[in-house]
């Protein structure tokens, strides 16, 4: 290439430069050169050089943008081939026209306008900037730099505008399941159901495509920080607005210690709901959005992603960490288990992106999870403590199932809704040797190979058995004591059999032993009450020298009547709430009493003269006794003693 030097002989003569542009070489041709091009008029190309971007140049409607880009390509190509780098080239007049077009487009353009010319312009400006950097004229670099910065500023604003989530996704639909279990309640929030309209919040494919072009252009121009900041700020605000709709702002870690548990339960429920929405919807949606927008710069986005969600997650973790510091109390178990599960879900959602930038965040989540798990283990210790110290001095009326029995069994039953979570917690706790020492040893029939959770459940059951044994001593009547132990034993057995998880953990041997104990109390009750009654109608002593001693016979009937009346009066208020057990008891009593009484009456009733005080001695017919037995164990304090006559 021809070299020129001196001020009067500029790098390329203006006439020669123009003639070259009028016939650009094929190697410089643009992809749209097949369109008819118009040579730029002298009045358009020539303008007075200025460091400021010229906005006074007239722009005809039919200016060929492709031709301008071709001129810039040719200029960049020519100066890149100059060997003498000591004399900077003079910028061609087309730069001023180019500047005016850029200013016009960046002033009036909207997100709906085709900005292809600007994308192409950035590519040319970067080439020019690189080529001119080899020369010493900083004013030329500044002019090119100003044009580039103007476009970058415009694109940054365009990116912000596109990133504003104008189609806010609807609030997740939640069906809150509430179950009250005496003095505790469990509300387990289901997974939110996000909107099915879009895979990512509020953006069409066209929006995604535009953002992707902007990001690629800004990154290629060296504006990584500006692009990253614009994206992070816009999406951070959008995420915060999403969470605000779930009352995110109302969570206050500082107030946790001041709130009553009743108020705190509602607070934790809201927190759980937010974490689930974050894990199951917002994180996956944000990840997918970022991967599409930063398709050529995914490593950059991954760093942005972690920083984007870190501040929000940190505040949520602060709340959970403060709750985990509360004094362990058995009634708090279910909320702690909810928190444990959703934090694992949050961790899985983040880990699903498989990026090492998430390691620190995962460590923070894991730390809070460990504190909550420790609280869960200690809550079972609190449950054992509550059982151990429940020393009521007044027996339950009628020998009914004790409230403590109902509480503990329902507690364990609903706790086993979280059986997989509890297994995980107790396994980990066992590895860390953090399981509290129980004051109760597992029963002999407990399989020692069972899991740590199974051992914990067995320990609770053993403590409950011991507590009930002590409470049974409050009943002075041995028969009522047997009814009490039978009632509670049967209730425990039925609850355990009704929960496949608890039954599996305690094992078949435990269930067989419990069934055997209930049968033992049943037999003991029958022996204490009804075997004694049958002693009144024994044959022994009635026959004297082969004849019936009427005095002894009358005394036997009188004693039977008196004892039966006393049994019915005393045991009328007693309760057996389990219908099957109630039926079994009545049937077994009738099977023992009715045949013996019917035989006794049939054998000796003819020794009484009809109509002469026979009702005084044979007060009840066998059918009367059977009918009255059928009224037992319903908790009735007064029962009709009607009877049939001969």
Q: Which helix (H) or strand (E) holds 562?
A: helix 550-571
Q: Mean pLDDT throughout 36-49?
A: 33
DSSP H or E stretch at residue 548: strand 547-548
Confidence of residue 50 (pLDDT cuts 50, 70, 90): very low
Question: Residue length, the chain?
Answer: 646
Least confident of 138-147, 392-401, 428-437, 559-568: 428-437
Q: Report whether pLDDT(12) > 60.
A: no
pLDDT at residue 382 greater than cutoff 80: yes
Contacts of 375 (CB under 8 A, 6+ apart): 324, 326, 328, 332, 336
> In this predicted structure, what is the pLDDT of residue 192?
52
Average pLDDT in the 126-144 region? 81
- What mean pLDDT do residues 559-578 have? 93
**Phi, psi (5° rounding) for residue 225?**
-65, -45
Highest-confidence segment of 9-18, 273-282, 351-360:
273-282
- Of 280-284, 370-374, 519-523, least confident by mean pLDDT is 280-284
Band of pLDDT at residue 200, cut at 50, 70 and 90: low
Stretch 217-238: mean pLDDT: 93
Q: What is the pLDDT averaged over residues 302-316? A: 89
Take residue 309 and report the two structure tokens written for it.
Answer: 């969600």
Q: What per-residue confidence (pLDDT) applies to 60?
A: 52
Please, are residues 159 and 214 in contact by the beta-carbon 8 Å criterion?
Answer: yes
Q: Is residue 105 predicted with pLDDT exceeding 80? A: yes
pLDDT of residue 62: 57
At residue 9, the pLDDT reads 35
CA-nearest of 245, 349, 261 to 306 is 349
pLDDT at 203: 85
pLDDT at 197 over 50: no
> How large is the average pLDDT for residues 121-132?
86
Q: Are 44 and 57 in contact (CB under 8 A)?
A: yes
Helix (H) or strand (E) holding 543: strand 543-544
Q: Is the pLDDT of residue 502 over 80?
A: yes
Return the beta strands (E) in 96-200 as ranges.
Answer: 177-181, 184-188
DSSP-H helix ranges across 294-358 = 298-324, 333-351
Q: Distance between CA 376 and CA 422 in Å, rounded?
A: 8
Based on the number of CB atoms within 10 Å of its own CB, is 530 exposed (0-12), middle (13-18) or buried (19 or more)?
buried
From the list 92, 88, 144, 143, the residue with the least C-alpha distance to 121 is 144
| The token pair that represents 362 in the structure block | 């995962």
Among 79-93, 125-139, 157-171, 501-515, the minimum mean pLDDT is found in 157-171
Alpha carbons 223 and 324: distance in angstroms, whole number: 44
Is 69 within 8 Å of 22 (Cβ atoms)? no
Smallest Cα–Cα separation from 411: which of 340, 499, 511? 499
Q: Which residue(s) pair with 186 in the sheet?
A: 179
- Alpha-carbon distances of 113 from 100, 165, 202, rounded to whole Å: 18, 19, 20
Given a cut of 50, whether residue 264 has pLDDT beyond it is yes
Q: Which of 27-36, 500-509, 625-634 has the lowest mean pLDDT?
A: 27-36
- Residues 340 and 323 sit within 8 Å (Cβ to Cβ): no
> Does the pLDDT of residue 441 top 80, yes or no?
no
| pLDDT at res. 131 | 81
- CA-closest candidate to residue 59, choices 78, 45, 73: 45
For residue 30, the model assigns a pLDDT of: 34
DSSP string, 563-627: HHHHHHHHHTT-B---HHHHHHHHHHHHHHHHHHHHHHHHHHGGGS-TTSSHHHHS---HHHHHH
pLDDT at res. 531: 93
545: how many CB neighbours lie within 10 A of its CB? Answer: 5
- How confident is the prediction for the chain on average, in pLDDT? 80
Does pLDDT of 610 surpass 50?
A: yes
For residue 447, how many other CB atoms are within 10 A of its CB? Answer: 16
Of residues 188 and 522, more confidence is placed in 522
Helix (H, G, I), strand (E, B) or coil at 133: coil
Q: Are 194 and 280 in contact (CB under 8 A)?
A: yes
Residue whose pair of structure tokens reads 């140049």 in the numeric block? 57
Tokens of residue 472, six digits: 């049974």
Q: Is 185 helix (H, G, I), strand (E, B) or coil?
A: strand
pLDDT (tens digit per residue) in 544-559: 878 888 889 999 999 9
CB atoms within 10 A of CB 206: 11
């Amino acid at each position: 290439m021809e070299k020129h030097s001196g001020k009067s002989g500029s790098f390329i003569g203006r006439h020669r430069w123009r003639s070259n542009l009028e016939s650009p070489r094929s190697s410089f041709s643009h992809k749209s050169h097949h369109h008819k091009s118009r040579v730029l008029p002298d009045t358009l190309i020539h303008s007075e050089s200025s460091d400021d971007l010229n906005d006074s140049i007239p722009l005809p409607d039919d200016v060929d943008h492709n031709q301008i880009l071709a001129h810039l390509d040719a200029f960049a190509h020519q100066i890149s081939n100059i060997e003498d780098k000591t004399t900077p080239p003079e910028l061609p007049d087309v730069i001023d026209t180019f500047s005016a077009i850029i200013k016009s487009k960046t002033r009036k353009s909207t997100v709906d306008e085709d900005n292809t010319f600007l994308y192409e312009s950035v590519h040319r400006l970067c080439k020019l900037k690189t080529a001119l950097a080899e020369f010493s004229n900083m004013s030329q670099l500044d002019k090119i730099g100003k044009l580039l910065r103007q476009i970058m500023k415009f694109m940054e604003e365009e990116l912000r505008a596109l990133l504003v989530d104008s189609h806010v996704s609807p609030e997740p639909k939640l069906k809150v399941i509430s179950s009250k279990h005496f003095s505790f309640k469990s509300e387990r929030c289901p997974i939110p159901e996000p909107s099915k309209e879009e895979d990512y919040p509020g953006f069409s494919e066209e929006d995604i495509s535009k953002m992707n072009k902007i990001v690629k252009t800004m990154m290629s121009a060296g504006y990584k920080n500006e692009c990253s900041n614009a994206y992070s700020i816009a999406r951070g605000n959008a995420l915060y607005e999403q969470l605000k709709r779930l009352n995110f702002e109302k969570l206050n870690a500082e107030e946790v210690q001041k709130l009553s548990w009743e108020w705190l339960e509602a607070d934790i429920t809201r927190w759980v709901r937010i974490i689930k929405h974050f894990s199951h919807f917002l994180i996956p949606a944000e990840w997918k959005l970022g991967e599409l927008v930063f398709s050529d710069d995914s490593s950059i986005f991954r760093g942005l992603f972690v920083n984007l969600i870190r501040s929000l997650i940190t505040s949520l973790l602060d709340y959970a960490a403060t709750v985990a510091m509360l004094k362990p109390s058995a009634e708090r178990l279910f909320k702690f288990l909810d928190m444990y599960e959703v934090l694992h879900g949050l961790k899985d959602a983040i880990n699903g992106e498989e990026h090492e930038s998430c390691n620190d965040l995962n460590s923070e989540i894991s730390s809070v999870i460990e504190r909550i798990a420790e609280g869960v283990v200690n809550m079972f210790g609190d449950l054992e403590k509550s059982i151990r110290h429940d020393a009521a001095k007044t027996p339950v009326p009628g020998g009914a199932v004790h409230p403590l029995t109902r509480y503990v069994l329902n507690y364990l039953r609903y706790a086993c809704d979280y059986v997989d979570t509890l297994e995980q917690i107790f396994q980990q706790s066992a590895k860390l040797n953090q399981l509290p020492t129980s004051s109760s040893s597992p029963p002999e029939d407990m399989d020692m190979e069972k899991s740590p959770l199974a051992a914990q459940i067995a320990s609770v059951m053993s403590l409950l058995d011991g507590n009930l044994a002590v409470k049974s001593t409050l009943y002075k009547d041995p028969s009522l004591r047997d009814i009490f132990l039978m009632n509670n034993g049967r209730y425990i057995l039925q609850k355990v059999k009704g929960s496949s998880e608890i039954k599996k953990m305690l094992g078949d041997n435990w269930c067989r032993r419990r069934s055997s104990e209930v049968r033992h109390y049943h037999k003991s009750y029958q022996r204490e009450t009804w075997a004694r009654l049958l002693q009144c109608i024994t044959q022994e002593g009635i026959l004297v020298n082969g004849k019936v001693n009427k005095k002894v016979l009358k005394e036997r009937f009188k004693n039977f009547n008196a004892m039966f009346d006393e049994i019915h009066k005393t045991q009328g208020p007693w309760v057996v709430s389990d219908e099957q057990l109630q039926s079994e008891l009545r049937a077994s009593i009738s099977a023992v009493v009715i045949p013996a009484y019917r035989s006794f009456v049939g054998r000796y009733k003819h020794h009484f003269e009809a109509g002469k005080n026979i009702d005084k001695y044979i007060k009840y017919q066998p059918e009367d006794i059977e009918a009255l037995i059928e009224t037992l164990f319903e908790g009735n304090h007064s029962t009709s003693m009607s009877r049939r006559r001969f």
